[in-house]
Structure 1
Amino acid sequence: MILSGMIGKFYSLSEWLFKLLIANGIWVFFNFPVAYLCLSLFFVPTVEDGYVTLTVIFLLLPFISYPATTALFGLMRQWIVKKKSDKWLSFYWTVYKQNYVKSVMGGLFFVLLWGLWIVNYSLAAVEMKSLLFYFYLILTMILLTWNMHFFADTVHCEIGFFTSIKKTFFMAFGFIHYTIPMLGLASIVAYSLFQFHPMVSIMFTGAIVAYCYFFGYEQIIQRALRKSKHKEMMLE
């Protein structure tokens, strides 16, 4: 019985690892142009070429990476809400097409924000471990979580773009006790995988981070629903 239980747990773990591997592989495939340019940064001959490559990457992000990541979140949502389907690529492609325009709009919005953040940080000449450094660190965490909440909200709720932006903004700022643990868990996983082996990081990180963030997003939504039901019961 003990052996059977261990085998069952090992099988479940193997199944999850396989699913994450496939999901991450699909995501990397759809991100191939951006991934290729990111790798090419290690081989640019001059700093100027590096800046040009970075500029091209930033321009491509809204049109390639954001729709691909939205579809990855859609796949994670399907698994978290326990909707069974073996047609992962077909489902991914469906989510990709259905949310492409909204994803691009979100990409343009967030890439602009990230660009402004980078320029502002560069001009501020922030010193490590200074008060301003920690301010930017917290701001980065919130901005990143806002971005991730947008991906999750896009595949979870059929609402307008600006409504989603406002909603996820308040989620990122209003639920710091969820924001920090989600980011912490995702960061620990990404760092651990990279330390284990960079190739393992490439194979799993995207899907695991998406899973962590959508799970956190789902917890916030469920908490809001419970509060709403409680208020309705109190009014009755």
Structure 2
Amino acid sequence: MEFKGVMGGLYRISEWIMRLSVINLLWMLCSIPVFFFLFMGMVSQTEDALKATLPILAILAPFTLFPATTAMFAVARKWVTGEEDVPLLKTFFRGYKENYLQSMIGGIFFVLIFVIIGVNYFFYLKQGSSLRVLAVLFIAFTVIMMIALFNFFSILVHLHMKITQIVKNSILITIGNPINSIVLLICNAVIVYICLTKFNFFLVVFFMGSIVATFSFWQFNRSFTKLQTKQQELEEKEQQRLAEEQEASEMDADSHSEKSEDEDATAINLNKKSENEKTIE
């Protein structure tokens, strides 16, 4: 039964609320260790306790948070590409299982990068004014890697590539599309800020992750489709150029063959003329 008008609109809204909340809950359930230690560190309200939880989070994230986030992006991909009525549980856990190894390896890579950035940032921050400028560079690098992380999840669930190619392409897309990257970062930052500061974490539990994943993949898919269109146009132009060159070469060959035929005919006529002259003599 399909509702129309206002009832149809309300039904669609309630359906999307259900979808987003179910996937967000699955994401949090599969990442319980990470969220548990993060919550404990935030509740302690002491800087030392929060710092003590960071190594634990760095160890647990590649094995729990990253695969769960990949599974959430796999469902978001289905929604963005038009498959809205996919079974949520089956699609989520299929994405979790199929992409677990690559998401884990990618998670280890990104965690190591963020750890290196953090160590260098605090090191140069304590130095003199001349070296303190380098801390700003590490902040910029952090922003780039954060955006690349969103693209990493989108590429992982959308394209079949080796993990090294996925990481490389996620960074290249981030740097190669600065406007889209900035829009992605700002919009996701706004979503996270609203979810963390409003409704006493209600939005965090039920909507934050799924909304961020859906928007991130939508932004990636839009950019990826544009790149594919441009590449297809370039290939068509290249094929047209090759066809024109081939046609020109064929025309040159035809002209050469006609010229050689004319030369042969002239030679035959000259031979006939010489023979006639000999006969007359």
Larger radius of gyration: 2
Q: Which moved more, 1:163-172 or 1:45-54?
A: 45-54
- Pair 1:70-2:70 in alignment: yes
2-side partners of 1:219 and 1:137: how far apart? Answer: 27
1:125 corresponds in structure 2 to 125
2-side partners of 1:185 and 1:122: how far apart? Answer: 28
Runs of 5+ unmatched residues, structure 2: 241-281
State the secondary structure of the residue aligned to 1:61.
helix
- Pair 1:208-2:208 in alignment: no
What's the CA shift string for 1:44-73, capped at 9, x where partnerless? 497555433221111011111111111110
- Pair 1:149-2:151 in alignment: yes
1-side partners of 2:71 and 2:62: how far apart? Answer: 13
Give 1:173-192 correspondences, 5 Å limit: 173-192=175-194
1-side partners of 2:96 and 2:195: how far apart? Answer: 27
Task: Verify the 8 A CA contact 2:124 2:135 in the aligned structure 1.
Answer: no
With a CA cutoff of 8 Å and minimum separation of 6, indicate the structure with the bigger relative contact order: 1
Q: Which moved more, 1:75-84 or 1:173-182?
A: 75-84
Task: Verify the 8 A CA contact 1:141 1:180 in the aligned structure 2.
Answer: no
Task: Verify the 8 A CA contact 1:63 1:104 in the aligned structure 2.
Answer: yes
Give the superposition deviation at 1:29: 0.5
Task: Verify the 8 A CA contact 2:125 2:135 in the aligned structure 1.
Answer: no
Task: Verify the 8 A CA contact 1:172 1:179 in the aligned structure 2.
Answer: yes
2-side partners of 1:200 and 1:86: how far apart? Answer: 23
Give the superposition deviation at 1:191: 1.4
1-side partners of 2:230 and 2:46: how far apart? Answer: 56
2-side partners of 1:132 and 1:210: how far apart? Answer: 32
State the secondary structure of the residue aligned to 2:160.
coil
2:234 corresponds in structure 1 to 231
Give the superposition deviation at 1:136: 4.3
2:253 corresponds in structure 1 to none
- Pair 1:219-2:222 in alignment: yes
Q: Which moved more, 1:69-78 or 1:133-142?
A: 133-142
Give the superposition deviation at 1:33: 1.0
2-side partners of 1:114 and 1:49: how far apart? Answer: 20
1:16 corresponds in structure 2 to 16
1:139 corresponds in structure 2 to 141
Give 1:76-87 correspondences, 5 Å limit: 76-87=76-87
Q: TM-score, normalised to structure 2's length?
A: 0.76
1-side partners of 2:165 and 2:152: how far apart? Answer: 10
2-side partners of 1:191 and 1:142: how far apart? Answer: 19
Aligned residues: 232
Change beyond 3 A, Cα 1:45–1:77: closer
What's the CA shift string for 1:117-176, capped at 9, x where partnerless? 11111112289xx97676444332211111111111111011101111111110011001
State the secondary structure of the residue aligned to 2:62.
coil
Q: TM-score, normalised to structure 1's length?
A: 0.89
2-side partners of 1:133 and 1:47: how far apart? Answer: 21
- Pair 1:193-2:195 in alignment: yes
1:55 corresponds in structure 2 to 55
What amino acid is the match of 1:183?
A: L
Task: Verify the 8 A CA contact 2:78 2:86 in the aligned structure 1.
Answer: no
